[in-house]
Amino acid sequence: MKSMGAGSAVQAEPKEALRVGVVGAGVMGSNHARVLAGLPGVHLVGVADPLPAHRKRATDLTDCRTFAGLDELIAEGVQAVTIAAPTHLHHEIALAAIARKIHVLVEKPIASTVEEGREIVSAAERAGVTLMVGHVERFNPAVAAIKQAISGEDILSIGITRVGPFPPRMSNVGVVIDLAVHDIDLIRWFTESDIVEVQPQLSSAVAEREDIALLQFRTASGVLAHINTNWLTPFKARSVTVATRGKYVMGDLLTRQVTECFGFKPDGSYSMRHLPVGHDEPLRAELIAFLDAVRTGNVPAVSGDEGVASLEIAIRCLEQPAKPAASAARKGPRRIVG
């Protein structure tokens, strides 16, 4: 028998399919199930969700078994689970799985609070199971190409835009926890440094929570970074720019086009090239990385500590309450002249 995780008690023969379950059959969980059902070396045991309509959505997509709760899923025998239930349940579900020595991939953000996130991390350490956090953007091939282009470069600044319309179903979090946490993770990953200064500007134009956020950061390594995110843009846009001493790299995370400017000359001229970008589905690459960490016991691509660190920065950004947007703060209607 070969150990499957860091000191895990759950073991299997190397050639045996890993028995994996999904907790939560919502938008993300159904996608987890779809991807897991197609991965070699994986047996998708089933999906757990209390809502029959959501369980049906998962079976329509993957024809897998479904269960009304985590206990029923665990009773079938699972070595690993992915948790895609609402964020406020991550803590309770992750601790229950870890207590049964089950490896866990938990969707981002790791938990609702830093304390809960830390409890999940220490429980996984004590149990010797793999814990990974689903910061899926790291597995976007355009992001991977940017990371490769800036490797070994002296990074000066990073700008990230992640905007779009309101999501169809509003959860109880604003844009910082829902969207900016992706980019906080990217800034920490690109710079391989901690964020030490945070200057947030938040506004709530339509939603109760912040729906516009302009966030500025400084990392311990001295990099300046900003995130522009909102739910008030009629179309989705996701872009990253990184200025280094030797290059300027621009990436569109949706069209997956990544371009670098380099060879700056004193006369202001420079060269430009498009970089090769892969075609992998980010979620597939993320789940493969998780299962690889489970099989080898190696540190997972996005550790629990990293998930907690990004959540901590996002929560620091929220310490200043959101102000009403400009139009709400204005007294009376704007005068139209002419």
Ligand X SMILES: NC(=O)c1ccc[n+]([C@@H]2O[C@H](COP(=O)([O-])OP(=O)(O)OC[C@H]3O[C@@H](n4cnc5c(N)ncnc54)[C@H](O)[C@@H]3O)[C@@H](O)[C@H]2O)c1
29 in contact with ligand X (CB under 6 A): yes
- Binding ligand X (rule: CB under 6 A), the pick from 17, 89, 198, 205 is 89
Nearer to ligand X, 89 or 205 (CB): 89
Query: Both tokens of residue 155?
Result: 């990074």
Residue in 46, 66, 68 with CA at minimum distance from that of residue 56: 66
Strand order, beta sheet including 195-204: 271-274, 257-262, 247-252, 237-244, 155-163, 224-230, 212-219, 195-204, 323-324
Q: Please tell me whether the peptide bond between 109 and the residue prior to it is cis, using omega within 30 degrees of 0.
A: yes
Cβ-based burial of 235 (10 A; exposed 0-12, middle 13-18, buried ≥19):
exposed
Among 20, 33, 37, 84, binds ligand X (CB under 6 A): 84
- Of 27, 75, 206, 299, which one interacts with ligand X (CB under 6 A)? 27
> Distance (Å, rounded) from C-alpha 214 to C-alpha 168?
23
Compare residues 202 and 302 and give the one whose CB is closer to ligand X: 302
Closer by beta carbon to ligand X, 86 or else 159? 86
The answer to whether 48 contacts ligand X (rule: CB under 6 A) is yes
Tokens, residue 123: 């429980």
- Distance CA(297)–CA(14), nearest Å, equals 13
CA distance 226 to 241: 10
Nearer to ligand X, 107 or 260 (CB): 107
Residue span binding ligand X (CB under 6 A) among the ranges 37-45, 82-90, 201-209, 292-300: 82-90
* By CB under 6 A, residue 24 contacts ligand X: yes
Backbone angles phi, psi at 114, to 5 degrees: -60, -40
Q: Compute the least distance from the CB of residue 248 to ligand X, in Å.
A: 27
Binding residues among 128-187 for ligand X as defined by CB under 6 A: 134, 136
Rg (the chain; Cα; Å): 21
Q: Which is nearer to ligand X, 38 or 50 (CB)?
A: 50
CB of 266 to ligand X, least distance (A): 43
- Closest distance between ligand X and the C-beta of residue 25, in Å? 5
224 to 243, contacts with ligand X by CB under 6 A?
Answer: none
Name the nearest CA neighbour of 204 among 175, 228, 168, 164: 175
Q: Name the segment binding ligand X (CB under 6 A); options: 47-55, 194-202, 257-265, 305-313.
A: 47-55
Which one of 23, 35, 36, 285 is in contact with ligand X (CB under 6 A)?
Answer: 23
Which spans of this chain sit near ligand X (rule: CB under 6 A)?
23-29, 48-51, 54, 70, 84-87, 89, 107-108, 134, 136
